[in-house]
Amino acid sequence: MIIIIIAGFHPMSSTFTPSTSVPLQATTDAAEATVAPSAPAGGGQVHRPRRLRRTGTLRRMVRETVLTAADLIYPLFVMEGEGQKEAVPSMPNCFRYSLDLLLEEAKAVWELGIGAIALFPLISHHLKDNAGTESYNPEGLIPRAVRALKQALPDLLVITDVALDPYSSEGHDGIVQNGQILNDETAAVLAKQALVQAEAGADFVAPSDMMDGRVREIRQALDAEGWINVGILAYSAKYASAYYGPFRDALDSAPKFGDKKTYQMDAANAREAIKEVELDIKEGADIVMVKPALAYLDVICRIKQHTNLPVAAYNVSGEYAMVKAAAQQGWIDEKAVMLETLTSMKRAGADLILTYFAKDAALALRP
Ligand code: PBG
């Protein structure tokens, strides 16, 4: 092993040695020579990556990842009523909006440069049943919200969630029988739900349930009715995660028994995420998503390398709540942590990010 001293400091002495006087040993190893300069070209032997960090202008020029408002999708909670806006305690600054106020909020979101919202409904208990029947009621809360939104803000992209949990008396994403979640029977209901949402004007439907074959079922149902331009944003790699807690508070949709581990993925698996993504692509997904985001950046990265489709990441409720809680204690700088976190998701490979921080981030990113 030939050691080349590339620094101006002699490693054995604390005094500065001019680089010209450092004896440079020749190397016969070509590979090594490409790593370490063999001659002091231009007199500089030290590699100085810091040169590119010297000023803000320069850092901006060489920045590899740029977060913009156009990358963000804002999840919004909608409920029945008028003139109502209810706080979600575990998600500071997030609210459930009655339809009229939802429209105002959507307008504010659009004006901030955010192009899309994802809608989630709070369904009253008397409308919930095991089969999630209310999920495909054409006069239900979501279809009414979509119609009103598309009328008021035609260019704002509206994404609807396809899953039974907000409508399920069991709080599960599928129909329950003897403690089991039925797959194919559920997928058939999801297709009906997606169809009603498409008819209402949804631009994208987003199955978040993790039943097998549901993307195919939904695509076929949409195409059969002529909704060829309604896209599918598939929650392809959705993990059984403890980070969803605050969201379930917001929609009062926590499972009444057991957990979601027989359909959502095991947190320990990454290869399986690729399998799920491949299946969803074959079945007709237009965008694939990883959820949660922050604890799954490696999964986002792998999926990005695997597909040419846009990749979305869901910066979920628990990730949001942790940042908010620490910031409220004065323990972290909220704005800086928010931007760093969202940037990390983009850097990992996310083209789009669903985040409760969308509005705050869009504001912070304003030139
Ligand atoms: C349910 C659904 C969940 C979320 C989005 N859709 C919760 C769950 O799977 O239990 C979580 C979103 C969040 O935590 O922000 N289909």
Q: What is the pLDDT of residues 96-136, one digit of tens each?
A: 999 999 999 999 999 999 999 999 999 999 999 999 999 99
Domain presence at residue 24: no
Domain presence at residue 236: yes
Which range is least confidently modeled, 218-222, 233-237, 254-258, 353-357? 254-258
According to DSSP, the β-strands at 95-98 and 180-182 are: unpaired
Domain presence at residue 56: no
pLDDT digits (tens, 9 = 90+) for 187-224: 999 999 999 999 999 999 999 999 999 999 999 999 99
Ligand 1 center to 65 CA (angstroms): 27
Which amino acid appears at position 307 of this protein?
T
Reading phi first (left if > 0) and then psi (alpha if -120 to 50, else beta), residue 176 is in beta
What confidence category does residue 297 fall into, taking pLDDT thresholds of 50, 70 and 90? very high
Question: Average pLDDT of 256-285?
Answer: 97
Domain presence at residue 64: no
DSSP string, 175-211: EEETTEEESHHHHHHHHHHHHHHHHHT-SEEEE-S--
Q: How far is CA 128 from CA 123, 137, 214, 222, 253, in A?
A: 7, 12, 21, 25, 10
Using alpha carbons, select from 318, 174, 194, 142 the residue that is nearest to residue 255. 174
Ligand 1 center to 244 CA (angstroms): 6
According to DSSP, the β-strands at 175-177 and 157-162 are: unpaired
pLDDT at residue 322 greater than cutoff 70: yes
CB-CB contact of 134 with 127 (8 Å): yes
What confidence category does residue 36 fall into, taking pLDDT thresholds of 50, 70 and 90? low
Which amino acid appears at position 163 of this protein?
A
- Whose structure tokens read 């926590």? 254
Ligand 1 center to 2 CA (angstroms): 57
pTM of the model: 0.88
Domain presence at residue 48: no
Question: Is 161's C-beta closer than 6 angstroms to any atom of ligand 1?
Answer: yes
pLDDT at residue 237 greater than cutoff 70: yes
pLDDT of residue 330: 98
Number of domains forming the structure of the chain: 1
Domain presence at residue 256: yes
Using alpha carbons, select from 228, 244, 237 the residue that is nearest to residue 267. 237
Question: Is 247's C-beta closer than 6 angstroms to any atom of ligand 1?
Answer: yes
Ligand 1 mutation pick, 142, 264, 291, 319, max ligand atoms within 8 A of CB: 291
pLDDT of residue 39: 56
pLDDT of residue 35: 52
Which is the catalytic residue, given 128, 192, 291, 346?
Answer: 291
CB-CB contact of 293 with 75 (8 Å): no
Domain presence at residue 346: yes
pLDDT over 90 percentage in the chain: 86
CB-CB contact of 227 with 176 (8 Å): no
pLDDT of residue 191: 98
pLDDT over 70 percentage in the chain: 88
Is 335 part of the annotated catalytic residue set? no
What confidence category does residue 252 fall into, taking pLDDT thresholds of 50, 70 and 90? confident
Closest CA to ligand 1's atom 14 = 244
pLDDT of residue 22: 42
pLDDT at residue 41 greater than cutoff 60: no
CB-CB contact of 124 with 167 (8 Å): no
Domain presence at residue 154: yes
What confidence category does residue 2 fall into, taking pLDDT thresholds of 50, 70 and 90? very low
Does the N-terminal peptide bond of residue 292 adopt cis geometry, omega within 30 degrees of 0? yes
Mean pLDDT of the chain: 91
Closest CA to ligand 1's atom 11 = 244
Is 192 part of the annotated catalytic residue set? no
Q: How far apart (Å, rounded) are the C-alpha atoms in residues 62 and 291?
A: 30
pLDDT of residue 8: 41
pLDDT at residue 10 greater than cutoff 60: no
pLDDT at residue 255 greater than cutoff 90: yes
**Residue 103 maps to which CATH number?**
3.20.20.70
Reading phi first (left if > 0) and then psi (alpha if -120 to 50, else beta), residue 279 is in alpha
Ligand 1 center to 365 CA (angstroms): 27
pLDDT of residue 4: 44
pLDDT of residue 18: 43
Q: How far apart (Å, rounded) are the C-alpha atoms in residues 17 and 262?
A: 65
Q: What's the longest Cα–Cα distance across the chain?
A: 85
The encoded tokens of residue 122 equal 């709070």
Question: Is 208's C-beta closer than 6 angstroms to any atom of ligand 1?
Answer: yes
